[in-house]
Structure 1
Amino acid sequence: MTLRIGIIHNNEQKSLDVFQRLVPLIEKKAGIKLVERDPELVITIGGDGTLLSAFHRYNHKLSDVLFLGVHTGHLGFYTDWRDYELEELTDSLCRNRGKSVSYPLLDVVVNFSDGRSKHFLALNESTIRKGSRTMVADVYIKEERLERFRGDGLSVSTPTGSTAYNKSVGGAVLHPSISALQLAEIASLNNRVFRTLGSPAIIGNQEWIEVKLRSQGNHMITVDQLDVSGPEISSVKYKIAEERIHFASYRHMHFWHRVKDAFIRED
Structure 2
Amino acid sequence: MTERRNIYFYARKTEQAKEHLRMLEELAERYHFNVVQDYKIANIIVSLGGDGAFLQAVRKTGFRQDCLYAGVSDSGKKSLYCDFHVDDVSSMIEAMTQDQIEIRKYPTIKVTVDDETSFHCLNEFSIRSGIIKTFVMDVHIDDLHFETFRGDGMIISTPTGSSAYNKSVGGAVVDPMLPCMQVSELASVNSNRFRTLGSSFILSGQRKLRLSVTQDGNDYPVMGLDNEALGISHVHHVDLVLSDQIVKTVKLKDNSFWEKVKRTFL
TM norm. shorter chain > 0.5: yes
Name the structure 2 match of 1:174.
174
Contact 2:83 2:252 survives alignment (8 Å)? no
d(CA) in 2 for partners of 1:137, 1:227: 20
| 1:188 Cα deviation after fit | 0.0
Name the structure 2 match of 1:158.
158
Amino acid at match of 1:42: I
d(CA) in 2 for partners of 1:60, 1:78: 15
Name the structure 2 match of 1:139.
139
1:1-267 → structure 2 map (5 Å cutoff): 3-30=5-32, 32-37=33-38, 38-62=41-65, 64-73=66-75, 76-96=79-99, 99-111=102-114, 117-131=116-130, 132-217=132-217, 218-251=220-253, 253-264=255-266
Q: Which moved more, 1:230-239 or 1:47-56?
A: 230-239
Unaligned runs of 5+ in 1: none
| 1:251 Cα deviation after fit | 4.4
**Deviation string for 1:66-100 (max 9, x for gaps)?**
01111112662210011222233145335549941
Unaligned runs of 5+ in 2: none
**Deviation string for 1:200-258 (max 9, x for gaps)?**
01000111110001142322211112322243211001110001000123546211111
Give the secondary-structure state (helix, strand or coil) at the position aligned to 1:61. coil
d(CA) in 2 for partners of 1:251, 1:68: 14
Q: Which moved more, 1:65-74 or 1:83-92?
A: 83-92
Give the secondary-structure state (helix, strand or coil) at the position aligned to 2:199. coil
d(CA) in 2 for partners of 1:247, 1:164: 18
- Matched pairs, number: 258
% same residue: 30
TM-score computed with the length of structure 1 as normaliser? 0.90
Amino acid at match of 1:120: F
Cα distance, 1:164–1:126 mapped onto 2, change above 3 Å = same
Q: Which moved more, 1:221-230 or 1:148-157?
A: 221-230
Cα distance, 1:161–1:259 mapped onto 2, change above 3 Å = same
- Stretches of 4+ aligned residues off by more than 6 angstroms: none
Contact 1:128 1:222 survives alignment (8 Å)? yes
Cα distance, 1:179–1:2 mapped onto 2, change above 3 Å = closer
Contact 1:213 1:235 survives alignment (8 Å)? yes
Q: Which moved more, 1:220-229 or 1:89-98?
A: 89-98
Cα distance, 1:96–1:81 mapped onto 2, change above 3 Å = same
Give the secondary-structure state (helix, strand or coil) at the position aligned to 2:224. strand
d(CA) in 1 for partners of 2:4, 2:159: 34
Amino acid at match of 2:155: S
Contact 2:63 2:247 survives alignment (8 Å)? no
Give the secondary-structure state (helix, strand or coil) at the position aligned to 2:236. strand
Contact 2:180 2:203 survives alignment (8 Å)? yes
d(CA) in 2 for partners of 1:260, 1:61: 29
